[in-house]
């Protein structure tokens, strides 16, 4: 039988990590973090800031998705050089008078 003297009541782990309550990040700290560029903003504009990119860049994934979706919807098929099947041709569908008669 084991003696109760050798059995600890609780464990102490001094280097077991960070408590989840201590890990909360304030909004000011998040805003101060410089995000890496994800995609180029369209229409193309030269970057006026002193950073390592030539053009203005998106740093937020929502902005990249919004910009890419807008480019897809506003591009007609055949307009993109090297990618003739890119686009939706919505302009030709919305302004086609053949179906209105």
Domain ranges for the chain, please list them.
Answer: 38-92
Rounded CA separation 12/15 (Å): 9
CA atoms within 13 A on the CB side of 83: 7
| pLDDT tens digits for range 40-92 | 999 999 998 776 789 999 988 999 999 999 999 999 998 889 999 999 988 87
Q: What is the pLDDT of residue 46?
A: 92
Give the closest residue to 83 by CA, choosing from 75, 91, 93: 75
Total length of the chain: 101
In the structure, what pLDDT confidence band is assigned to residue 32 with cuts at 50, 70 and 90?
low
The H or E element containing residue 88 is none
CA atoms within 13 A on the CB side of 38: 13
- pLDDT of 97 strictly over 90: no
């Amino acid at each position: 039988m084991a003696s109760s003297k050798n059995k600890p009541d609780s464990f102490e782990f001094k280097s077991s990590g960070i408590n989840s309550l201590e890990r909360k990040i304030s909004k000011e700290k998040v805003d101060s973090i410089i995000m890496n560029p994800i995609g180029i903003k369209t229409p193309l504009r030269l970057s006026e800031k002193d950073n390592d990119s030539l053009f203005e860049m998106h740093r937020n994934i929502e902005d990249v998705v919004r910009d890419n979706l807008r480019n897809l919807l506003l591009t007609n098929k055949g307009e993109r050089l090297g990618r003739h099947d890119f686009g939706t041709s919505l302009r030709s569908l919305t302004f086609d008078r053949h179906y209105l008669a």
